[in-house]
Structure 1
Amino acid sequence: MTDPHADLHSEHGALPGEHPGRAPNPVVKVHDLAWLEFEKPDLGKAELFARAFGFTTSLRTADELQLRGTEPGAPCVLIRRGARSRFTGPAFRAADPADVLRLAEATGHRVTPLPESLGGVTVDLPDPSGARVRVVSGTHELPALPEQDPPTFNFGHDVTRVNATQRPRREPVKVQRLGHVVLQTRKYRETLDWYLAHLGLIVSDFLYYPGQRGRGPVMSFIRCDRGATPADHHTLAVVLGPANRYVHSAYQVADLDALAAGGEYLLDRGYRRSWGIGRHIQGSQLFDYWRDPDGFLVEHFSDGDLFDSSLEPGWAPMTASGLAQWGPPATKDFLGVKPGRDAFRELRAVIGALREDNEFDFDRLRGLLKVAVS
C-alpha cells in the first residue's frame, strides 16, 4: 500500500537556483506577532464566541473589544465596531525599539502613537497585497493569567498516576497566545519577498503545485529570525490565491486534552467545527479549526515545531492529503469549496483574477483544482 505522506516532509530541501527563503539584508527582524485586528458589527456576539473559544476579555467599550491569552504581553486580538466584518491587518512586535524608527526611515512612513489602551508606537506599512501591517514597540504589558492545569499521564509502564482518574472537564480551553496568521494573495512572490526584506522573516517550508515546481512555490510557512533562539515554525503563512484575504489565525493551547475538551464545549454551544482534530505535517501542530459567528476561520493548536535560524527551508508538493499526518480528511469548508456564499465569492474572485495581470493564471488555477482532489 502506498503511503500518501511519502515525500511530503520538510526534510526535502531546495534544488539549485530555487528561492533561498530569506533576504540577505533585511531592514529589521521582528520578534513575533503582537496581535491581529478585525472589524465586526456585533461585538456582543463576537465576545460570546471568544469566551467559549478560550479568550479572556482585557478591554470592552461600546466600540472596541480586546481579547487576550494567559501569557503576559499585549492582547491577541483587537475587534473594533464596523459596518461589516473584515480583517484589517496584523501587528508585529519589534525586536528593538529603534527598529520602528529604522523601518519608518527606510520606507518613508511615520512613527505614530498607538491608542492609550495599548500604549507604545507603531509604523504602519501596506504590503504588496494592500494589507495594513503594523510594527509596534513599547506597548503595555498585561500580566500573566493562571494557566490550565496539565494532566498527569501514564506512558506505557512509566506510571505517575495511581489511584486517580483522568477526567478533563468540558469547559472553555484557556488560549495561551497568538501563534500565526495565514494570508492569501494574488501577488504571492512579491508579497513573500516584501515580508522577508522588510521584517526579516525566514521561510521554514515551501509548498508547490504538483507538476509545477519549476514555476516556483505557491505557499510559504514563515518564522521569525531569532538567531539561535528557537521560534515557531510559522508566525505568518502566505499562499497564492484568487483574492487578497485572511485565511485563518491560530492560538496555542496547553495540550491535546485541553484542545479536545474545549472543542466539546464549543460543540455543546452550537458552534461549528470546520476541520479537526488532527496533526499537521508542516509545523507538526495538533490542530482543531472552527468558524466564528462572522465566518472567520480560527484554530486551536498545540505541540508545534520550533526552529532556530540555522534550518533551511523544506520543499513539498501541496496536496489535500498532505495537510495532515493523521485526522479526518480536510473538509470542503476548510478547503473553501463547500457550496454556499463563501464558495460563490471565491468563484467570482477566480474569474476576476484570471482577467487581470497577476500570478494567479490558468496554470495556477489548474494546480489549485488538483490540490482540492489530491
Structure 2
Amino acid sequence: MSARLLTHLRHVDLAVPDYEKQLDFYGGVWGLTKVAEDSGISFLAAEGSPEQYVVRLRKAEEKRLDLVSYGAASPEDVDTLAERLLAGDVRLISRPGKVDTPGGGYGFRFFDVDGRTIEVLADVEVRQHRRIEEKEAIPVKLSHVVLNSPDLNRTREWYERHLGFALSDTLSSPHMGEVMHFMRISNQHHSMAIAQGPHTSLHHISFEMRGLDEYMRGSGRVIRAGFKKVWGPGRHMAGDNTFTYFLDPHGNTVEYTTELELLDEDTWHPHVYDFSRPEVTDQWGTANPMNELVAKESFNDPDRGVFVAPPV
C-alpha cells in the first residue's frame, strides 16, 4: 500500500440533462446551499462543512458522474502524488496547477482503474461555515461516496496501491461472494466504498446529519416531498451508521446518515460480514428488506463518463 497522501473527501460532481430539476432537489428538499452558479454549473455547500462545496451540478446532454474530489494536506503532497501516479502508469488528465473553482487551490485530475475522473486538491480556501442547530435537519457535511465496479477486487487493489486507501470491512455472502469493500483514508470507517456491480457507475452519495433526530426529520421531509425512498431508515453493521436512501430526480441514490464509526487504525482488523444475515444490513430491523429491487436501484445507469474527462 502507498503512503497516504489524501486527507478527506471534498466533493462529488454530477452532470444531468434536467439541470433545473436537479438543482431544485439538492438546493431545496435535500438541504444544501447554492453558493455559486455560472452558465449551467452550480456549486452547493453543506452549512456545517468548511468545504467550499460538496456537490457540483453541470447541465449536460447525458447523465454522468463528472468526478470525485479528495483533499491533500499541501501542494507538495499534490506534486508527490502526481509523480507517484505517473511512475505507476496512471493516466493523468491534467498536471498539478492552480484551479479556478470556488475557493481556488492547487491540484490535478486523473482516471482511476475503472475510468472515473478523480481530482486531488490542496490549499482550498476554507468556507465560512457554522454549527448546525438542534432539530435543524440539513446535511452537516459530505460523509462518503460508494462506487460500482465490475471488478471489485481490481478496483480495491488499485486504490490501495496508488492512493493509500486501507480496507476497513467487507460485505460477502455464501451465494455471491464479496460484494462491497469499505475503504478509508483516515480514522473514519469509510470515505469510499466499492460495490460489485454490472458496470462502472455511481452507487450512492452520503451526507451526514447532526444526530439521530435530525436524520429522522430530514428523512421524513424528503419522504413527504414525494421523492422515492429506496431503503431505510435503518442502521448498518459495517460502519455502525444509520441510513435512509432516496433517488434524486435523475435516479442517483443519495443517503442521509449519522454516527459513522471512527476507528483506532493501529488496532483495527477488517471484518467480513455475511450480508445475507438481516442484522448485518440493518441492526435495528426497521428498514424494508434488502432485496433485488433495492440492489438494482443502486446499480444506477452505466456511467457515460468512463475515460472521458468532464469538459470543466
Task: Tell me which interval the TM-score lies in, with the shorter structure as reference length.
Answer: 0.7 to 0.9
Partner in structure 1 of residue 55 of structure 2: 77
Partner in structure 2 of residue 297 of structure 1: 253
> Are 1:324 and 2:282 matched, yes or no?
yes
Q: Which amino acid aligns with 2:137?
A: V
Q: Is the 8 A contact 1:28 1:103 kept in 2?
A: no
Partner in structure 2 of residue 64 of structure 1: 41
The residue correspondences of 1:209-224 to structure 2 (distance < 5 A) are 209-210=173-174, 217-224=178-185
- SS of residue paired to 2:6: coil
> Are 1:97 and 2:78 matched, yes or no?
no
- SS of residue paired to 2:21: helix
Partners of 2:170 and 2:127 lie apart in 1 by: 35
Partners of 1:194 and 1:78 lie apart in 2 by: 26
Question: Percent of aligned positions with the same letter in both sequences?
Answer: 26
Q: 1:335 aligns with which of 272, 295, 303?
A: 295
Partner in structure 2 of residue 282 of structure 1: 238
Q: CA deviation at 1:281?
A: 0.8
Q: Is the 8 A contact 2:29 2:222 kept in 1?
A: yes
- SS of residue paired to 1:123: strand
Q: 1:73 to 1:212 in 2, by over 3 A?
A: closer
The residue correspondences of 1:352-367 to structure 2 (distance < 5 A) are none
Q: Is the 8 A contact 1:209 1:318 kept in 2?
A: yes
Q: 2:228 aligns with which of 272, 292, 316?
A: 272
Q: Which amino acid aligns with 1:119?
A: G
Partners of 2:21 and 2:175 lie apart in 1 by: 45
Q: Which amino acid aligns with 1:330?
A: M
Partners of 2:249 and 2:13 lie apart in 1 by: 16
Q: CA deviation at 1:42?
A: 2.7
Q: Is the 8 A contact 1:286 1:301 kept in 2?
A: yes
Q: Which amino acid aligns with 2:18?
A: D
Q: Which amino acid aligns with 1:98?
A: E
Q: CA deviation at 1:123?
A: 2.1
TM-score using structure 1 length: 0.72
> Are 1:238 and 2:238 matched, yes or no?
no
Q: CA deviation at 1:247?
A: 0.4
Partners of 2:176 and 2:215 lie apart in 1 by: 36
> Are 1:178 and 2:155 matched, yes or no?
no
Unaligned runs of 5+ in 2: 87-91, 303-312
Q: Is the 8 A contact 1:28 1:99 kept in 2?
A: no
The residue correspondences of 1:184-199 to structure 2 (distance < 5 A) are 184-199=148-163
Q: CA deviation at 1:68?
A: 1.0
Partner in structure 1 of residue 309 of structure 2: none
Partners of 2:235 and 2:117 lie apart in 1 by: 31
> Are 1:43 and 2:43 matched, yes or no?
no
Q: Which amino acid aligns with 1:221?
A: F
Partners of 2:16 and 2:97 lie apart in 1 by: 24
Partners of 2:169 and 2:25 lie apart in 1 by: 32
Q: Which amino acid aligns with 2:239?
A: G
Q: CA deviation at 1:337?
A: 6.5
Partners of 1:257 and 1:337 lie apart in 2 by: 27
TM-score using structure 2 length: 0.85
Q: CA deviation at 1:35?
A: 0.6
Q: Which amino acid aligns with 2:156?
A: L
Q: 1:314 aligns with which of 248, 268, 271?
A: 271
- SS of residue paired to 1:307: coil
Q: CA deviation at 1:263?
A: 2.1
Q: CA deviation at 1:320?
A: 6.8
Q: CA deviation at 1:202?
A: 0.8
Q: Which amino acid aligns with 2:296?
A: G
- What CA deviation, in whole Å up to 9, does each residue of 1:257-301 have, x standing for no partner? 112222222222222211111111101111111111111100000
Q: Is the 8 A contact 2:234 2:242 kept in 1?
A: yes
> Are 1:113 and 2:98 matched, yes or no?
yes
RMSD across aligned positions (CA) = 2.2
Q: Which amino acid aligns with 2:192?
A: L
Unaligned runs of 5+ in 1: 1-22, 150-167, 226-230, 347-374
- What CA deviation, in whole Å up to 9, does each residue of 1:180-201 have, x standing for no partner? 1111111222211111122211
Instruction: Count residues in correspondence.
Output: 289
- SS of residue paired to 1:325: coil
Partners of 1:212 and 1:332 lie apart in 2 by: 13
Q: Is the 8 A contact 1:90 1:134 kept in 2?
A: yes
> Are 1:132 and 2:88 matched, yes or no?
no
Partners of 1:53 and 1:304 lie apart in 2 by: 20
- What CA deviation, in whole Å up to 9, does each residue of 1:293-323 have, x standing for no partner? 1111000001111113221211122327231
Partners of 2:193 and 2:75 lie apart in 1 by: 25
Q: CA deviation at 1:176?
A: 0.5
Partner in structure 2 of residue 256 of structure 1: 212
> Are 1:145 and 2:130 matched, yes or no?
yes
Partner in structure 2 of residue 358 of structure 1: none
